[in-house]
Amino acid sequence: DGGITQSPKYLFRKEGQNVTLSCEQNLNHDAMYWYRQDPGQGLRLIYYSQIVNDFQKGDIAEGYSVSREKKESFPLTVTSAQKNPTAFYLCASRKVQGTYDYGYTFGSGTRLTVV
Amino acid sequence: AQSVTQPDIHITVSEGASLELRCNYSYGATPYLFWYVQSPGQGLQLLLKYFSGDTLVQGIKGFEAEFKRSQSSFNLRKPSVHWSDAAEYFCAVGPSGGYQKVTFGTGTKLQVIP
């Protein structure tokens, strides 16, 4: 079955450390997204990519970086510049054909905790 | 700018009772509207979406939603709630066409009591 795989499910980061969250999809979707979820704040967009080797900042990109070297993969690095990284991170892909939007497909998330 | 308001943070219903979750949006043109559901510690799953046509949309798991342009609303309903429906529900709005940004509401957490 096609889907999105996020790993690891739980991740612990020490102060001053960079960590990378993995996101892989086998849906052949062009667009991929990273969202951050905090209690009571809904989902906030970090970065998104519509095609390989191209990506755009979302609403809260500071302290994060991404790459899109392959269509299937969109890893997110949480850098030491992100001062409050403890959150639940969701990766998603999306298929659009013309004006028809199929909606997002989400992974099961990575919970990042600073220790 | 587009926005979504889910006025109810928490809702508690009895199993077998009907359910309505409210969603109000702000968008200048014809929007794409979505409802997603999230179980604890999991990702979001698409329940249904509306773009055009019939304003009453049927989704998975027995859910439906009605688009009311005059009220800028897209409320989610279910005639009879099951204990397994306990989850958090998110409404979202986006423009039609392309990969432009979709804006999510802050969610409504549903508790189902026996």
Each residue's pLDDT tens digit, B32-74: 899 999 999 899 999 999 988 889 999 999 999 999 999 999 9
Distance, CA of A87 to CA of A5 (rounded, Å):
18
Element of type H or E holding A108: none
C-beta of residue B56 within 8 angstroms of C-beta of residue B50: no
* Nearest-CA distance A30 → chain B (Å): 9
Q: Kindly list the residues from chain A whose CB atom is less than 8 angstroms away from the CB atom of residue B90.
A: 42-43
Each residue's pLDDT tens digit, A3-28: 999 999 999 988 889 999 999 999 99
Residues of A with CB under 8 A from a CB of B: 4, 6, 30-31, 40-43, 45, 48, 50, 58, 90, 92, 94, 96, 98-101, 103-109, 111
C-beta of residue A86 within 8 angstroms of C-beta of residue A114: yes
CB atoms within 10 A of CB A29: 20
Q: Kindly list the residues from chain B whose CB atom is less than 8 angstroms away from the CB atom of residue A111.
A: 41
C-beta of residue B35 within 8 angstroms of C-beta of residue B102: no
User: Which tokens sit at A101?
Assistant: 């939007």
- Residue A1, pLDDT above cutoff 70: no
Average pLDDT over residues B90-103: 84
Distance, CA of A64 to CA of A78 (rounded, Å):
5
Contact B97 A107 (CB under 8 A): no
Each residue's pLDDT tens digit, A45-96: 999 999 999 999 999 999 999 999 999 999 999 998 888 999 999 999 998 8
